Amino acid sequence: MNQVQLPFSTVITAEELKGFTHYEERKLSDMKGYFADEEARAAMEQSADQVVYQVYRVEVPPEEGELLHCLTVIQPGQVAGECFMTKGHYHLNEKCAEIYVGVKGKGVLLMQKGQEVRTIEMRENTAAYIPAGWGHRTINVSADQPFVFFSVWPGHSGYDYQRAVEEPFVKRVYLRPDGYEVK
């Protein structure tokens, strides 16, 4: 029998989702193979296994009709110039879109469908739409500030992280003295 979801609320802040029930973090040691320069990542992990990003989530049934949501905080940092980012994923259900809303900082939303790549620069209050079928990853392009965003997606989306490994994102984002470069 399906669990009955009752009304509830949380509070979005620039640091966390107040009222969250689930917390996950990804450190450099969880990001093996994701950055272009794996040797540099491994060396950084050896000296300090920094947190790359944190996810604050509320438990909602992962079922059609429900809306999952979370707050993600990507820390500032780079691996050989490549900006800290999320692992990125596709939805297992290719009919499920997603919405991201920028909360704080400066980021890039990188999307890919086949060989087609799109980027959207995200700031506070930017609402970005990720159409169904597009892989998506977010990148912190600030040198010293966290990038924080809120996400909402259908309960029956599922996540395919393996596909993002087998069909890696063809563009990467690097910090530059005057901003950032997507290449």
Residue 7: CB atoms within 10 A of its CB come to 4
Residues with Cβ < 8 Å from 13, sequence gap 6 or more? Answer: none
* Residue closer to Fe ion, measured from CB, 81 or 158: 158
Smaller CB distance to Fe ion: residue 82 or 98?
A: 98
User: Considering the rule CB under 5 A, would residue 100 count as an interface residue with Fe ion?
Assistant: no
Should residue 82 be labelled a site residue for Fe ion when binding is judged by CB under 5 A?
no
- Which CB, 109 or 173, lies closer to Fe ion? 109
Distance in Å, CB of 80 to Fe ion, minimum: 27
> Which residue number has the CB closest to Fe ion?
98
Looking at the Cβ atoms of 54 and 78, the one nearer to Fe ion is 54
Mind spelling out the 3-state secondary structure of 5-69?
Answer: CCCCCCEECCCCEECCCEEEEEEHHHCCCCCCCHHHHHHHHHHCCCEEEEEEECCCCCCCCCEEE
Confirm or reject binding of residue 98 to Fe ion (CB under 5 A). Answer: yes
What is the CA 29 to chain-centroid distance, rounded? 17
**Taking the complex as a whole, how short is the minimal distance between the CB of residue 153 and Fe ion, in angstroms?**
5
Q: Residues 14-53 vs Fe ion: string with x where CB under 5 A?
A: ----------------------------------------
3 state DSSP class of 79: strand
Residues near Fe ion (CB under 5 A): 98
